[in-house]
Amino acid sequence: MSRRGGDERSGTYDNGLSTCLAGVDLRLDGGTVEALERWARAAAALSAGSASAPGSDHDAAAAWAELAAATSDAVSALSWHGLTAGEPTRLADAAARLADTWPELSELLRLAEEEARSSGAGHGTLAPPADGSRDLTTATSEARCSLAGAVTTSRALLRELAGDPDPEVRRAVAANESASPDVIGVLVSDPSETVRLTLAQRRACPSEIQARLARDTRAGVRATVASRADCPPAALVTLAHDERASVRQAVGDNRATPPELLVVLAADPDRSVRMAVGRSRRGPEAALLKLLRTGEERMRQVVAEADQATEAVLLQLVRDPDPAIRARVARNPGVTTALLEGLSTDSDVGVRTASAANPSLSVSALELLSQDREGIVRRAVALNSSAPPALLATLGCDRLDWVRSAVAGRRDLTPEVAAVILLERPEVRLAPEVLERLGSCDRERS
């Protein structure tokens, strides 16, 4: 922090604040002056030469932390004072007059003036209390809401606003990320559900606050806590046994829910909760097997698509009476080669097509499916990234145009395969990259 004038300014931070403020006629109340004095002392300590940069040592870090806190409180106090009649303009005038003599204080006043105008925009002005104190009862509800939501508002003022009779003001305090734990702790038992819900939606909400909100009387608040990624494990256990299905569903959808709780929820009497477990893609084998025991078609569909489904789980579904479910198993990226080969001989064309499209299918099974009577199956083989060159050469000359076009559109065809296809089917239009590689080979041979 700069100090112009050397020894001429040596006492400015410590003793010259009152003189400086008197010269700009701000008429500050006692609380605001006290906040500025704290800021001046912190600035003086940092300018004494013992701390040149934040984090250089323990003392320097403490000095910078004190200055940051003092600056926040001073801006908050000045911005509140700026909401009284005419004060935003006085703050701006004072900042301009101090720009050369005390640039740091000038910047502080400028920040306070911006905060005052932002908080009071459209809300009118406040008459200054006769005793010089900050009487919140003189402020409009809109002005108090603005103060409650401002990150620069002091902790003491936020604590006072947390007891405001207007629930919208208290809700703004609950949403303010700079509100300290003791302030938001008061709001946990607020009579307004909206305030408590806002508290549960905070980006940063202490675990002890979440634990208390998990026992809230309103299901919406409890469900919000249950959906938080940082919800404490003990709270999740409590919420997993909640009387409301919507709360238990939120636990099932939460990615932070431990596997053992998902096993419990998989046997929940409410279908929406069980569906949440199926959608989670984190349910362990025991949870998925429980879902299958319900016999519900939708549960079988969800489990068949689960990335984490084990062979034991999928084995329960490969003979499912519904071909759409067997096709889902064939498309599952975790299906084993053995199960996939069995599905490749399924009587349903949709199941065989899904099997033919899976890159995990063995070459021998792909060769068998390349001769399938259904063109859609052969086309799936032609598009399979694991199909060998010899198979692609055969399918490139298939009797059906849409099977041949599937091969022709592949950019990974070798020149040898491309030559075979063009020899048999000169009308086939291969990808430009393939034709370029084929031309290069022809030029090398010549």
**Distances from the Cα of 90 to the Cαs of 59, 118, 271, in angstroms?**
36, 15, 64
| Cβ-proximal residues to 91 (8 Å cutoff; 6+ apart), any chain | 26, 78, 81, 82, 109, 110, 112, 113, 116
**Band of the pLDDT at 100, cuts 50, 70, 90?**
confident
Enter the pTM of the model. Answer: 0.63
Q: What is the Cα–Cα distance from 30 to 36, expressed in whole angstroms?
A: 10
Answer yes or no: are the C-beta atoms of 272 and 279 closer than 8 Å.
Answer: no
Give the per-residue pLDDT at 445.
Answer: 57
Beta bridge partners of 126: 84
Q: Return the closest-CA partner of residue 407 out of 399, 416, 398, 415.
A: 398
Quickly tell me which residue has 């016999």 as its tokens. Answer: 295
Beta bridge partners of 84: 126
**Distances from the Cα of 76 to the Cαs of 94, 189, 195, in angstroms?**
17, 27, 23
Q: Return the closest-CA partner of residue 151 out of 241, 231, 244, 73.
A: 73
Give the per-residue pLDDT at 407.
Answer: 86
Of 119-123, 130-134, 202-206, the poorest mean pLDDT is in 130-134
How many CA atoms lie within 13 Å of 390's alpha carbon, on the beta-carbon side? 4
Q: What percent of the chain has pLDDT over 90?
A: 50
- E strand or H helix at 43: helix 30-47
**Distances from the Cα of 261 to the Cαs of 29, 250, 266, in angstroms?**
57, 12, 9
Cβ neighbours around 131 below 10 Å, total: 8
Summarised one tens digit per residue, pLDDT across range 164-208 is 999 999 999 999 998 989 899 999 999 999 999 999 999 999 999
Chain-wide mean pLDDT for the chain? 83
Q: What is the Cα–Cα distance from 4 to 13, expressed in whole angstroms?
A: 12
Residue 7 has pLDDT above 60, yes or no: no
Residue 253 has pLDDT above 70, yes or no: yes
Summarised one tens digit per residue, pLDDT across range 57-91 is 566 677 777 777 788 778 877 876 665 434 577 78
Give the per-residue pLDDT at 122.
Answer: 39
Answer yes or no: are the C-beta atoms of 249 and 279 closer than 8 Å.
Answer: no
Give the per-residue pLDDT at 430.
Answer: 74
Beta bridge partners of 407: none
Give the per-residue pLDDT at 234.
Answer: 95
